[in-house]
Amino acid sequence: MSTTMNEIIPSSSSSSSCLPEQLQPAKNESSSSSTSLKLNDNINEIEDKPKSSIFSRNEESPIHNVPMKIIRRPLPSELDENKVLKFMKEMKDGDTFTPIEIIKVKSTLKSNPNGPKENFYFSMGGCHRFEATKRLNFETIRAKIIEVPPSQMRIYLGAGSPF
């Protein structure tokens, strides 16, 4: 299943941080690290490098309302049923959850390598939030989108990779 970015709707509550106000760093706070790395200026030109790390917390990343129908979950979830039920109740009560991370890969299908590039959206974590959202039949889920090259995702998906 593929989609266009037109189907992804920016969240109306697009604050710059998903942390509670009291846990956010002060605006004038500088990094505690005394070492800085100089990155190659051309790193974003290399198509085989992720544009963001899955494990980094970029508080400035936009939050989107991503349609549930376009998200693939290639790994089976191990769910705590009580946690899913608790999340469902909290979601029904209007609580806002930390956005999940969606991995976006743009690639041709391996069954049609000369065809057009398609967008694929994967969710590897956030299984309890995802499951609660799914059971409540919500059409979208709050998420941050991280673009990753196909070669990086093939490592995780193996022979099941569609690209």
Question: What is the reported pLDDT for 8?
Answer: 57
Contacts of 33 (CB under 8 A, 6+ apart): none
pLDDT for 95:
94
* Spacing of C-alpha 31 from chain mean position: 25
User: What is the chain's pLDDT, residue by residue, as a tens digit (163 residues)?
Assistant: 444 444 555 554 444 444 445 444 455 444 333 333 333 343 344 345 445 444 445 567 799 999 999 999 988 889 999 999 999 999 999 999 999 999 999 999 888 999 999 999 999 889 999 999 999 999 999 999 999 999 888 888 888 788 8
Residue extents of the structural domains in the chain: 100-163
Task: Note the pLDDT of residue 108.
Answer: 92
CATH, range 100-163: 3.90.1530.10
* Other CB atoms within 10 A of residue 102 CB: 22
First vs last C-alpha separation in the chain: 12
Tell me what pLDDT residue 96 has. Answer: 93
CB burial string 31-43: b at 16+ within 10 A, e below: eeeeeeeeeeeee
